[in-house]
Structure 1
């Protein structure tokens, strides 16, 4: 009878652990450890600790799940502060709203968000259906912090690339140092306000420009906007960008949404990843969006995306074949 009680208790604890590991929200005082994860309400994203292959470092990583074939995280929370492997990391939401990683491998705690100066109530940390991990309050304080303000190597729908001049913020992508090393690498992608181009830089030197946004209507009559040096022809990659200027030009940024292909199921999840070699890749379909040239041609040059076109010709042909088969 005693053994039956122990077995029953173990089963209940196991079920409880499964339930805790599948929630999308942390409340104050709750933690995420190396055996649990947050999963967005729609099941599209998960947040968990991750150790890359052949690595001695662990990271807090956000992933596409189930609905995508992406094999790498789309966001890393501590890319500049790796945690030693097997050091039992824990992510905790504290009484000041702080979001902190602690571990027993030595070193100071890692603050993703340092919190307020005094205690606050009704604060939660939630992984949303768009892949944005945010800390907010039910009260008037509202949004405290969110991961979309701290991009790593991947641009998701609703995430901004641009500038917020009032606080000197620049939303920029930074490549990984290597395929299995999320440390900041040699390449960055940013918004150039003077030319209204996306620019890829290698250690600060511009090596590729997107060209300006071109607006048109697709076959269904829907308004679209794509960068002139991204895509072999219209509708191949179905990213619809928009450019926004807010509050007397204090904010200027671009973001995208994903439009469905005609006759295909709606696809709302995808992204642009800046690879460790500088290439820009469609996260979901692993197709090359651009292969930056070196050095970057002048902004108005027709050669600005010349290497990208060669990559697109092949990628578009592959995608057309896939869609034909489907």
Structure 2
């Protein structure tokens, strides 16, 4: 009887050990391990953290730890984007310091949140959870944040996330595209906030000396080179913060809208909105057309879309093509020059150009307090021979603040067809 009982117990153990029970957590503590097949869910069940594969046909054993929309499925953040797991034996642990630690089946560390930030002391009550906004948070109890995924964006911006830079901590929030649709490692494109001169959003291809696309500077309502933002003002609230300590941009929906911004592997910025049919719908794309590409017409030239829906270049009033033979639509175009050379010391005439994407502000000066009038701005520009143009930094309430350009004016396009309130640049 004793022998029979032992065989029965052994058989029962073998059967039960071969079964894997997937668990769904609301909170993870250092006592739990998130293994492959388990998930951590947000309180509203919209977001989940877990293990997944992107290429079921060619690389089904390549596993990633990531955060996704549960339905419809869409990955928004990946922990080990540079170092995939092989097989399904990986697991995530939360340490007593509040660090996230990803191991493979042989307990080899593949990724840790401590590689991006250092905990200064042992947490009293470390917890790992996902907020309803999709932020993966390691905290000490319910309040003190030790680490959060919103500080380390990948290719996706969710509502409430930042793009920008904190000058005190040197924390920078930017996007980097995936290499391919099936490879989340960093790709060729980045989206960041350039803080030289008046801050502006720029999209750059790795290795290129200049920008690929410039969304422009903030004018109080939107970025001057992103007319789609003006069309979306009824759907989203945009926030731009600029101070001595930090510059950042973020957005939140005005209604019960589920949306995300994605920098894809081809260098396109997509606004996706979840439809009532529970599908991701492409709302808009940037760059929108050929005129959006950086300085496609060269200096002192404006790109516009004509009645045939094709791009064309034209010189600003008072300028002429630098080279008639080589005046065409192409990157690095020769651009335009003054018809009559300016003579500093004599009275220069300024010409107003409304409805414009403002020129590149990399080499500009601006009134940080936003207190100067346009007339103040004109006087300041007139007193400096190197100043080539001026404009308000904020177009709301009739316009306020001052922005001055020094050097050539590049990367302009006609956007008056998109916006009710004009960006106005006044050039010599």
- Relative to the length of structure 2, the TM-score reads 0.58
1:96 equivalent in structure 2: 97
Q: Distance in 1 between matches of 2:36 and 2:415?
A: 43
* Matched positions, count: 275
Runs of 5+ in structure 2 lacking a partner? 1-7, 274-280, 296-358, 361-409, 419-428
CA offset digits 1:295-318 (Å, max 9, x no partner): 512526433989xx9xxxxxxxxx
Alignment of 1:303 with 2:304, yes or no, is: no
Q: Is the 8 A contact 2:103 2:111 kept in 1?
A: yes
Distance 2:90 2:271 in 1: 31
Q: Deviations over 1:242-296 (max 9, x none)?
A: 11135xx121100011123xxxxx21x3111000000011233234421276851
Q: Partner of 1:31 in structure 2?
A: 33
The answer as to 2:214 corresponding to 1:209 is yes
The yes-or-no answer on 1:227 pairing with 2:223 is yes
Q: Does 1:253 align with 2:258?
A: no
For the residue of structure 2 that corresponds to 1:253, the secondary structure is strand
Q: Distance in 2 between matches of 1:253 and 1:304?
A: 26
- Does residue 270 (structure 1) correspond to residue 259 (structure 2)? The answer is yes
Give 1:183's match in structure 2, choosing from 176, 182, 185: 185
Pair 1:123-2:119 in alignment: no
Higher relative contact order (CA 8 A, sep 6+): 1
CA 244–50 in structure 1, closer or farther in 2 if over 3 Å, else same: same
TM-score by length of 1: 0.74
Compared CA separation, residues 226 and 167, structure 1 to 2 (3 A):
same
Aligned partner of 2:111 in structure 1 is 110
- State the partner residue of 1:50: 52
Cross-structure match for 2:334:
none
Q: 2:222 aligns to what SS in structure 1?
A: strand
| In 2, Cα distance between equivalents of 1:133 and 1:82 | 20
The 5-angstrom pairing of residues 115-194 of structure 1 reads 116=119, 119-138=122-141, 142-193=144-195, 194=197
The unaligned stretches of length 5 or more in structure 1 are 216-224, 261-265, 310-326
Query: Highest Rg: 1 or 2?
Result: 2
The answer as to whether partners of 1:208 and 1:304 remain within 8 angstroms in 2 is no
Q: What is the alpha-carbon root mean square deviation over aligned residues?
A: 3.1
State the distance in 2 between where 1:153 and 1:102 align.
24
Q: Distance in 1 between matches of 2:177 and 2:232?
A: 27
User: Does 1:238 pair with 2:235?
Assistant: yes
- Equivalent residue of 1:113, what SS? helix
